[in-house]
Chains A and B, each alone.
Chain A
Amino acid sequence: MSSIADPIAGSPVADAKAKAEAAKIRAAAPAITLPAAGERELRLDLFRGLALWLIFIDHLPANLLTWLTLRNYGFSDATEIFIFISGYTAAFVYGRAMLEAGFVIATARILRRVWQIYVAHVFLFTIFLAEISYVATSFENPLYTEEMGIMDFLKQPDVTIVQALLLRFRPVNMDVLPLYIVLMLFLPLILWLMKWKPDVTLGLSVLLYALTWQFDLYLSAYPNGFWAFNPFAWQLLFVFGAWCALGGARRMSRILSSPVTMWICIVYLVAAFFVTLTWYVPQLGHIMPKVIEQWMYPINKTDLDVLRFAHFLALAALTVRFLPRDWPGLKSPWLRPLILCGQHSLEIFCLGVFLAFAGHFVLAEVSGGAALHALISVSGILIMWGMAWIISWYKHSADKGASRTKSTVGNADLAGGGA
C-alpha cells in the first residue's frame, strides 16, 4: 500500500552535470523540477526504516536498546527523520501526479491516501482502547489511586470515541498519524504553491513557523490540552522535505558539498552531544553555564524547537555528504531489513505502535528484568521486518496477476506517498 513503486530518484548531491543539462531542457517548464526517474532512492527507504525502528524503541519503556536511539545523542530524534522523508516522498510521488495529471487528479489521490492513514489511526485507537480497558479493570493499586483517574474517560465512551474520530482525543504515543493526516491534507495546496514558486512556498512555511512561535498558535485537544506535535510548527519539516524533493536539494548541492557547511554541522552535532551528555551524567551538570541553560531549556518538541530543527539539518547534511546514493552497502543484505521496513512505512509504523502497546502490556503483566525488556524490543523489530517482508511478497508475488490488469496510473497511486 505504501511503498513507492515509482522509482524514486533524486539525490541532492548527485551528478551535477547531468542535472544541469536536464535543468536547461526544463528551463521553459514549470518552476518545480522532478529528478530524472532512475534507480530507486534506497537511502530514503533506509532512513525511514531506521526512523520506524527507533520510534518503536522509543515508545517502549527504557531499556538497553534505548541507548541506541538517536535522541540520546542530540536534540532531534526519529520523528524529524520520519516527517522529513514523508514530505520528500509524498511531494515526489504526488508532485509528479500533479505535473502529469493535473491538480484535481493529484488532490483526489492525496485524499485517498489521507483516508488510508485515517483508517489506520482509528484501527490503532481501537487497540489502545482494548488495552487500557483491560488495565483499568485489573489494576487497583492504592499507590496510584490518583493516576488511575486517567481511565475516567472510559466512563463516557460516547464523547471519547467521537473525539477520537475527530482526532481531538489522542492517547500518548498516538500523535504522529494525526499530524501526518493534517500535513497530507494540505499537501495539494503545498504542491500547487510549489508548482508556482517553490522558494516562496518554503518562505511561507518558515513564516508560519515563526508566527506559530510568536503568537503561540496551536490546535486544542480533548478533553483539554493541545496537540503534542503542533502541525503549525511541524509543517516546516514536511514542506522542507517537499521542497528538497522538487529540486531544492539539487539547488542546495553547492552549499551541501562545501567544507564550511560540513564543519559547522560537525561542531553543532558535537556541541549537541555534550549538552545531551549532561542529561545522563548529572554530575556533569555544573559544567553547563547557567546562562546557556536558561536560554536553551526547555527544548520544545511540541513546536519543533529551532535547536531540534537545526540538529536534524546538520545530521541530514552530513548524511547526504558521506553516504552517496550509489554506496554499495545499500544493496547489502544486512541493510535489507531496514530498507524493506522503510518501503512499507504506513503498515510498519502502525505495527510499531501496536507492538509498543503490546510490549508495555507484556512488561506490565510479566515482571521481567532487563533481559525481557531487550527481548521484547528485539522481537518487535524482527516482527516488523517479517511483516515488511510479507507485504513486499504480496506485492511482488501474490498480487502480481492482479496488478497487471490495473493501469499503471492506478498502481503508482496506490504505491504513493508513503507514511
Chain B
Amino acid sequence: MKSARTMLGLKKVGLKKVGLQMFGLTLLAALLAAAPARAEDTAEPPPCDVPAYLLSSESSLPKVTEAVKAAQPLNVLVVGSRSSSIPSNETSAYPARLQAALQAALPSATINLSVELQAKSTADETGGTLVKLVEAKKPTLVIWQTGTVDAMRSIDPDDFRGAINDGVVALRNAGVDVVLVNLQYSPRTETMISAPPYLDNMRVVAQQHDVPLFDRFAIMKQWSDAGYFDLFSTSHGVDLAKQVHACLGRALSKFVIDAAHLGPAQQN
C-alpha cells in the first residue's frame, strides 16, 4: 500500500494537518496563554498575546539579516489581497503597523515598505506578477499574503500548491527573502469557505522551501478563543478591524525579527 503511494506520488490535496492543528490549538493555546503574559505589555491597548511558537520559525531570512547588519535600508514589499488592507483606512492596516513595529524594534535601520494589493487575484494570478514587482520595487523581503481568493473560488488545492510553489521559487531566484501569510480566521464564513486545504498546502510549500510561514489563521483563532476579540461581531464599525490589524502588524514584526535572528523575539 505504502509503496503504491510513493509510486503514484503526491497528488491532489485535501486536508488535515493545519486544519486540525487549529482545533488542537484551541485548547492548548487557551491553556498556554491564560497564565503568564499580560503583565508587561500594558501600554498597548488590546491584549493580543500570541504563544511563542506561533511567532518563531525554523526557517530564516538571510537577506533581511544581512541588510540590517550591514546597515542597509530594509525594503519590504507586501503582496496581498483585500484582507491585507482595511477599506479607506490603509494607515491602520497591518502592513503600515508592521513598518512602525519594525522601525521601533530596529531604531537604527531604515525601513521602507510598499504594499501591492491585488484584490481578486488567485495565487496563480498573483504569482505571475511577482518577478516584475520585484524588479520594479527591489525589495529585500516579500511578504506574500494569499489563499483567501483561492479558498473562496475553491481552486483545486493541487493547482494552488503549484502556484505558491512557483511563486516562492521565482522570488527566491530573484534573490529576495519570502514570508508567507495565510488566510484570516473568519468564523462567520466558516460554513461557506473551506480554509483547511489551503492552509495545509501553504504549510507544505513553506516546509519544502524552508520559507517562514506567518500563521495568521491560527493567531487570529487564538485571539478569538482567548476572548481578546469578538471576531463573530456583526458591527459595521471599523474599530475592530483596526485593532486586529494593529496586533497582526506587531506579531508579524516579531515574527520577521525572530526569523531574521535580529535580537530577542520579545523586542518591541
Q: Does B173 contact A (CB under 8 A)?
A: no
Q: Does A326 contact B (CB under 8 A)?
A: no
CB atoms of A298 and B191 under 8 A apart: no
Question: Which of A108-116, A137-145, A329-337 forms contacts with chain B?
Answer: A137-145
Contact with A along B12-44 (1 / 0, CB 8 A): 111111001111111110000000000000000
Instruction: Give chain A residues whose Cβ lies under 8 Å from the Cβ of B208.
Output: 294
- Which one of B6, B24, B197 contacts A295 once the chains associate, using CB atoms below 8 Å? B6
In the bound complex, what is the Cα–Cα distance between A286 and B89 (angstroms)? 40
Minimum CB–CB distance for A261 against chain B, Å? 14
Question: Which of B96-104, B105-113, B125-133, B226-234 forms contacts with chain A?
Answer: B226-234
CB atoms of B235 and A141 under 8 A apart: yes
- Which residues 149-171 in A have Cβ within 8 Å of B in the complex? 149-151, 171
**Beta-carbon nearest neighbor of A214 in chain B:** B8
Question: Which of A42-50, A83-91, A360-368, A377-385 forms contacts with chain B?
Answer: A360-368
The contact sample of 5 A-B pairs, CB cut-off 8 A, is: A146-B83, A230-B12, A298-B204, A300-B15, A302-B14
CB atoms of A172 and B87 under 8 A apart: no
Q: Does A399 contact B (CB under 8 A)?
A: no
- Which one of B120, B188, B235 contacts A364 once the chains associate, using CB atoms below 8 Å? B188
In the bound complex, what is the Cα–Cα distance between A67 and B156 (angstroms)? 29
Instruction: Give chain B residues whose Cβ lies under 8 Å from the Cβ of A303.
Output: 11-12, 14
Q: Chain A contact residues: over half helix, strand or loop, or mixed?
A: helix
Minimum CB–CB distance for B221 against chain A, Å? 9
- Which residues of B are at the interface with A, using a C-beta cutoff of 8 A? 1-2, 4-6, 8-17, 20-28, 53, 58, 81-83, 86-87, 89, 119-120, 148-149, 152-158, 161, 184, 186-194, 197, 200-201, 203-204, 207-208, 227, 230-238, 240-241, 244
Contact with B along A13-32 (1 / 0, CB 8 A): 00000000000000000000
**Beta-carbon nearest neighbor of B149 in chain A:** A146
CB atoms of B2 and A306 under 8 A apart: yes
**Beta-carbon nearest neighbor of B221 in chain A:** A62
Interface centre among A61, A146, A309 (most CB of B within 10 A): A146
In the bound complex, what is the Cα–Cα distance between A145 and B188 (angstroms)? 12
Asked if A298 meets B201 with Cβ closer than 8 Å, knowing A147-B148, A225-B155, the reply is yes
Asked if A282 meets B21 with Cβ closer than 8 Å, knowing A144-B184, A306-B1, A364-B187, the reply is yes
- Which one of A63, A221, A279 contacts B24 once the chains associate, using CB atoms below 8 Å? A279
- Which one of B13, B26, B234 contacts A141 once the chains associate, using CB atoms below 8 Å? B234
CB atoms of A67 and B17 under 8 A apart: no
Instruction: Give chain A residues whose Cβ lies under 8 Å from the Cβ of B14.
Output: 228, 298-303, 305
In the bound complex, what is the Cα–Cα distance between A72 and B190 (angstroms)? 20
Q: Does A131 contact B (CB under 8 A)?
A: yes
CB atoms of B241 and A142 under 8 A apart: yes
Total A-B residue contacts, Cβ distance less than 8 Å: 198
CB atoms of B11 and A61 under 8 A apart: no
In the bound complex, what is the Cα–Cα distance between A303 and B13 (angstroms)? 7
In the bound complex, what is the Cα–Cα distance between A224 and B154 (angstroms)? 6
Contact with B along A258-288 (1 / 0, CB 8 A): 0000000000000000001001111100100
Q: Does A39 contact B (CB under 8 A)?
A: no
In the bound complex, what is the Cα–Cα distance between A172 and B154 (angstroms)? 10
In the bound complex, what is the Cα–Cα distance between A66 and B22 (angstroms)? 12
Minimum CB–CB distance for A319 against chain B, Å? 19
In the bound complex, what is the Cα–Cα distance between A132 and B58 (angstroms)? 40
**Beta-carbon nearest neighbor of A233 in chain B:** B12
Minimum CB–CB distance for A152 against chain B, Å? 9
**Beta-carbon nearest neighbor of B201 in chain A:** A298
Q: Does A210 contact B (CB under 8 A)?
A: yes
CB atoms of B156 and A171 under 8 A apart: no
In the bound complex, what is the Cα–Cα distance between A223 and B120 (angstroms)? 15
CB atoms of A72 and B20 under 8 A apart: yes
In the bound complex, what is the Cα–Cα distance between A246 and B192 (angstroms)? 39
In the bound complex, what is the Cα–Cα distance between A299 and B189 (angstroms)? 24
Instruction: Give chain B residues whose Cβ lies under 8 Å from the Cβ of A146.
Output: 81-83, 119, 148-149, 184
Asked if A141 meets B233 with Cβ closer than 8 Å, knowing A62-B26, A132-B192, A302-B13, the reply is yes
Interface centre among A61, A144, A145, A280 (most CB of B within 10 A): A144
- Which one of B24, B155, B191 contacts A172 once the chains associate, using CB atoms below 8 Å? B191
Interface centre among B6, B17, B208 (most CB of A within 10 A): B17
In the bound complex, what is the Cα–Cα distance between A135 and B11 (angstroms)? 36
CB atoms of A150 and B189 under 8 A apart: yes
Minimum CB–CB distance for B211 against chain A, Å? 14
In the bound complex, what is the Cα–Cα distance between A146 and B89 (angstroms)? 15
CB atoms of B191 and A143 under 8 A apart: no
In the bound complex, what is the Cα–Cα distance between A139 and B186 (angstroms)? 12
